[in-house]
Amino acid sequence: MNGKEFVTQLAAKHYPDLEGPVLALRRALAELDPATPQFVELMQRQAKKELRHGVAFTKALLQYDGLEHHERAEIAEQAAEEYHHFALIKDYLNSRGSDVQIDPAGAFDAYFDRFLAGDIAVFRLCNIAEKSAVVFQAHLRDATPDAAVRKLCEDILADEEEHGDYMAEKLAGMAENEETRPFLEEQFVLSWSSQKQGVLAEAQALGIDVERVLSAAGFSA
């Protein structure tokens, strides 16, 4: 089994428990009516995620001396893109007479803190679950009746697809070395599990019928 095959079977193995339910809930969130306060809150939460992501990557640049030159360039580029996504969503919220609300306690810091705890190998895999961002943005673009939301998604999606592709390539490359596979699987499960916790809480907070969405998609919570 080569690296790419390993990654494919890894994703398939955990799809029913992790990736599948996360994607089903993120699709349900993307289908919230843009006219509702819940949708505005969804965008506020998304803005926070983008900002925390940009901050985490900036911190990583400052704290990890062991990064290769090409990695530093890629991390800097992605940090700038995540800040840009934050700004785009802020503009959208402003256009609706709303705004982002940044809580100083940092609701999403815990998710990123694990990647900044000191193990550079863990940091290198921190976008392992970034695929859910691509699925969310793509579904929102396709499902929304709101032209401004569609434009917002199109502006964000090109970057997110690149982030997703970059990670998939990196993972397949690392998985060529069979000794790294248990570590890759451990990080895969940790990242998707913490995403699942986050999206379950988010869906519940925004009034999604979690049980119904999951069972309709053939999963359980």
Give the Cα separation of 130 and 151 in Å (integer).
21
- How far CA 127 is from CA of 78, 196, 215, in Å, comes to 11, 14, 28
Give the Cα separation of 33 and 10 in Å (integer).
34
Smallest gap from residue 186 Cβ to Fe ion (A): 22
Tokens of 194: 């913490």
Q: What x-and-dash track marks residues 33-72 binding Fe ion by CB under 5 A?
A: -----------------x----------------------
Evaluate whether 145 touches 211 at the Cβ level (below 8 Å): no
Nearer to Fe ion, 27 or 48 (CB): 48
Smallest gap from residue 160 Cβ to Fe ion (A): 5
Give the Cα separation of 200 and 45 in Å (integer).
13
Q: Is 163 in the site for Fe ion (CB under 5 A)?
A: yes
Give the Cα separation of 188 and 182 in Å (integer).
10
Nearer to Fe ion, 27 or 85 (CB): 85
Nearer to Fe ion, 84 or 181 (CB): 84
Q: What x-and-dash track marks residues 80-109 binding Fe ion by CB under 5 A?
A: --x--x------------------------
Positions in the binding site for Fe ion (CB under 5 A): 50, 82, 85, 160, 163
